[in-house]
Amino acid sequence: MTPARTTQRRILYTGLTALVVGQCLLVAAADRPAWGVLAIAPGMALVMLAWQHHRLAEPAIGPPVRQPRSAWRFAWLALSAALALWLTFRLTESTAGFGLFLPTGDAPLAFLGRPPGHTEQAACWLLSMALFVLGCAGLPALPAGWTPRIDRGLALRLAALFALALALRLVNLEDGVPVLFVDEAAFAAQARDIATGISDDLPIFAPGHYSHPLVFAWAVSPFVTLLGPTRAAARLLPALAGALTVPAVYWLAAELVARRRVALAAALFLAVYPVHIHFSRMALNNAVDPLFGTLAFAALLRGLRRGRAGWFALAGVMLGLSQHFYAAARALPLLALILLAALLVRQPRALRATWRGLAAALAGFVIATLPMHVYLFAHRLPLTSRVMQSFDQITFLHLTASDILSTKLVPAALGYVHTPDGFYFYGGETPLLLFLPAVLFLLGMAHLLVNWRTTPGFLLLTGLALPTAASAFLIEVPGFARLVLATPLIAIVAALGVDRLADAARTHGARRTGVLAAALLAAVAVGNVTYYFGAHLPAFEAAFSERQRWMQAIGARARTLPHATNAVFLGDRAMTAFMTWSYRYYNGDGDVIWAHDAPQHILPKLEDEPAAFVVFFIEDYKGAVQPLIAARPDGELAVLPTPPEVRPVYMFYVPAQPDAGDS
């Protein structure tokens, strides 16, 4: 071995040792992260010095491929545009030119009648996107006797990874988290309302819970119809989306770095990643937009490489679909623009030659988002409502620049390797990455920092920086729910760390470096899965607040009551509206009243109520409910089962009178 290579090896191993020591210090001295950072910073610098000549390949931009003109392609594109515009017109019911620029909302066309139903809306929307992609791509002319060429080994590996990911996300889905956790209840209740036709008058593109589009609830509703109002039914769509993101991240990694083992390692890492598993097992929309975002950038990179308009169109449609779920996806169009701007600087001629493909991507994005944007515009609603609801403007108005750096930006950045979740949706006492994955992630980051000028390095670094910086400006820093969007990129970065470490071992004379990479990935997989199901889930349930315990008890009781039993909730601030959503999901479309402030106006009316009803209340309202209990001897008073440390919740249930149906 030459002296230069020996020196390089020593620098690398010294840097790796510093990273390991720094990560140990971050774990051991959690209240003093500066010690760990002081060890990690020089470690990163040494690793970057050792790898300064290891460059990531720059994805080439291929020449555009002109599709032959076809009447069928033109017909598909025209029909796609017609469906999108017709749906927009029906949603606004306006005479003002499809409601695009002059939304009145006051002059519905009489011959159109009511807005289209949810099935009609979804069919038009999905069909318009599919026809647009088909029109841009065209049908390939296949020779006689053509058979697809399939790499069976790769297909089997991806199928195994998908099966692993799906199994980890489906196992004990009903009772893994034994309550519809906070926002889960709202999304589930909206899904049941859509499934039962209660909210037929509200378009699926309208804002729903906390301004999130109703598309997610609409997509969950078929599972509720098929499986009934269970927790598993509400959580099945995110589980499927999370599992599908695993082969999607393989595709993105393969397009970025053009190395199969890196792509497979990234897919395995994401399949067993605790944060991604957790949010894929919740009835939340956080795990859905990473799927479409990953597909969007993979298709965009392939379109740039192959020059075919169909891939660009698919990228635009996938990017548009991502906008209908969690608000963090609002950063994806900005990331795409930044990527294209960087490519324009590096490869201006090649990128300008693809203008038709980029126009197809823009048109696909418009078609996918047009109904939502027009609905918001027609009703004068902002696009960023959810973001503004979470913006920590009070803190930023009173903090200095140094305080913002120390209390917001630094904790957000350290969330990857040190700071635990600032919110309760993931909770726990660990950062985004456990010990070994964190070290591999830091190695991958060092490799990217050396390659920041390349397209893969720039895209991955920017893709991690955007959601991290954006989350710092919101409440509860770091909020892991907002960083689920970055989990595919985290997986790719960690996979690059594994790959570079294996390559370094081969360069320095080690044998069977594939075994080293496999051992590292196996250790990551076993450690992550053991931690999540063995430690995190029990700790997550043990940390349930009083509100979650009440929701658990009320939800269990709601299942046993007759369908559509009317309900009244009496409690303090801990008994929030989430209780009513949980009850609605389990019990149906009865009237639900949240009467904390004015029980005296509600309870006397129930003394002669012929229909079945139930009152849930805490100890403070026992006196207010006592006259009702005395007036209705046919009722049943019970205490719902809760842990001893939780204030008890009472239930007073009165069945329907025999003649209630005639009254």
Tens digit of each residue's pLDDT (9 = 90 or more) over 575-633: 777 788 889 899 887 888 876 666 777 888 888 889 999 999 988 889 889 999 999 99
CB 280 within 8 A of CB 271: no
pLDDT at 512 over 80: no
Identify the pLDDT of residue 55.
Answer: 85
CB 281 within 8 A of CB 169: yes
| Residue 512 CA: distances (Å) to CA of 50, 202, 443, 444, 522 | 22, 60, 20, 21, 16
Identify the pLDDT of residue 99.
Answer: 39
In the numeric block, which tokens belong to residue 90?
């029906």
Identify the pLDDT of residue 119.
Answer: 86
| Residue 347 CA: distances (Å) to CA of 353, 354, 456, 496 | 10, 11, 14, 25
Identify the pLDDT of residue 245.
Answer: 98
574 vs 89, more confident: 89
Average pLDDT over the chain, rounded to an integer: 87
Pick from 22-36, 391-405, 470-484 the range whose average pLDDT is largest.
22-36
Identify the pLDDT of residue 396.
Answer: 58
pLDDT level of residue 103 (50, 70, 90 thresholds): very low
CB 417 within 8 A of CB 490: no
DSSP state of 652: E
Helix, strand, coil: what percent of the chain each, to 5? 65, 5, 30
In the numeric block, which tokens belong to residue 31?
């209240």
Identify the pLDDT of residue 322.
Answer: 95
Range 489-508 burial, b when 16+ CB lie within 10 A, else e: bbbbbbbbbbbbbbebbeee
User: Mapping DSSP to helix (H, G, I), strand (E, B) and coil, where does residue 517 land?
Assistant: helix
CB 472 within 8 A of CB 414: no
Identify the pLDDT of residue 653.
Answer: 95
Identify the pLDDT of residue 385.
Answer: 60
CA separation for the pair 441, 439 (Å, rounded): 5
Q: Tell me what the mean pLDDT of segment 642-647 comes to.
A: 90
pLDDT level of residue 386 (50, 70, 90 thresholds): low
Name which of 21-30, 144-153, 334-343, 453-462 the model is least confident about.
144-153
pLDDT at 302 over 80: yes
Q: Give tens-digit pLDDT for 109-167.
A: 333 445 678 888 899 999 999 999 999 998 776 666 667 788 889 999 999 999 999 99
